[in-house]
Amino acid sequence: MKKPSEKKMLPPRLPKSAIPHHVALVMDGNGRWAKQRGLPRTKGHEAGEAALFDVVEGALLIGVKELSAYAFSTENWRRSPDEVKFLMGFNREVIRRRRDQMNEMGVRIRWVGRPQKLWKSVMNELLEAEELTKRNKKLTLNMCVNYGGRAEIADAAALLAQDVAKKRIKPDQINEKLFSKYLDEPTMSDVDLFLRSSGEQRTSNFLLWQSAYAEMVFMDVLWPDVTRETLWKAIEIYAGRERRFGKA
């Protein structure tokens, strides 16, 4: 007989077809979590690290194949210089500290985002993690750093326009499939479950193109308090939804 604590750590039993392939994570509420404790905002971000990697383990256990984590948005540059500096350094440190563990767990890390403005040292760390983990197949973890949905679409349009100007592409060849090849990460799959913590109900410019038919689940828990069980609960909600993709 299993102890209740052990039993609790098993994912819910759901048919394979009810498990989302790609889950997008908006890790919101770090600042509020810290404020509630009279701590600086950066302590909330630090506490958010354990939550992210518990969710990664929960995703592996339940069979999610792709996770996208919104770690720094193209709009986050508007935060105080101290917080921006902290978040850049923290991203670099977390990737360096976690990459071997992720590699051993069969997780492939990918960086998704814009190079402009991003600290070189952060980019290098992400690219090294990509290289180290590129053969892993259990789960892909897209670290979205300096990522913005509108920026991604605008950048794709600019690249596509260049190809049209160079006559590599004719305007009448442009369709959704071709356009998606110009996105930051063309092989990223469509988002099935879009999960945001902290009770806020908006997308905040995350994976706009890829989330066209995502199921939105908003959990009323601040990101540092999120665990694998929060993910599993969201997946149970997702499993109860009817997805029609525009059909009647």
Greatest Cα-to-Cα distance within the chain, rounded to the nearest angstrom: 68
Annotated catalytic residue, options 76, 103, 136, 205: 76
Min separation Cβ 24 and ligand FPP, Å:
13
Q: Is 113 in the site for ligand FPP (CB under 6 A)?
A: no
Task: Judge whether 175 counts as a catalytic residue.
Answer: no
Min separation Cβ 122 and ligand FPP, Å:
10
Number of Cα atoms under 13 Å in the Cβ half of residue 100: 3
Closer by beta carbon to ligand FPP, 93 or else 236? 93
Min separation Cβ 130 and ligand FPP, Å:
15
Closer by beta carbon to ligand FPP, 19 or else 71? 71
For residue 44, give the H/E element and its range: helix 41-62
Q: Is 230 in the site for ligand FPP (CB under 6 A)?
A: no
Min separation Cβ 31 and ligand FPP, Å:
2
Q: Are 122 and 144 in contact (CB under 8 A)?
A: no
Task: Judge whether 91 counts as a catalytic residue.
Answer: no
**Angstrom distance (rounded) from CA 69 to CA 56:** 10
H-assigned helices in 170-247: 176-180, 228-239
DSSP one-letter string for 54-123: HHHHHHHHHT--EEEEEEEETTGGGS-HHHHHHHHHHHHHHHHHHHHHHHHTTEEEEEES--TT--HHHH
Question: Rounded to whole angstroms, what are the CA distances from 184 to 31, 48, 147, 238?
Answer: 28, 25, 9, 27
- Restricting to residues 8-67, which ones interact with ligand FPP according to CB under 6 A? 27-32, 41, 45, 48-49, 52
Q: Is 142 in the site for ligand FPP (CB under 6 A)?
A: no
**Angstrom distance (rounded) from CA 15 to CA 8:** 19
- Restricting to residues 169-198, which ones interact with ligand FPP according to CB under 6 A? none
Q: Is 126 in the site for ligand FPP (CB under 6 A)?
A: no
For residue 3, count other CB atoms closer than 10 A to its CB.
Answer: 7
Min separation Cβ 98 and ligand FPP, Å:
8
Q: Site for ligand FPP (CB under 6 A): how many residues?
A: 16
Q: Enumerate the active-site residues.
A: 28, 76
Question: Which residues would be at the binding site for ligand FPP (CB under 6 A)?
Answer: 27-32, 41, 45, 48-49, 52, 71, 76, 90-91, 94
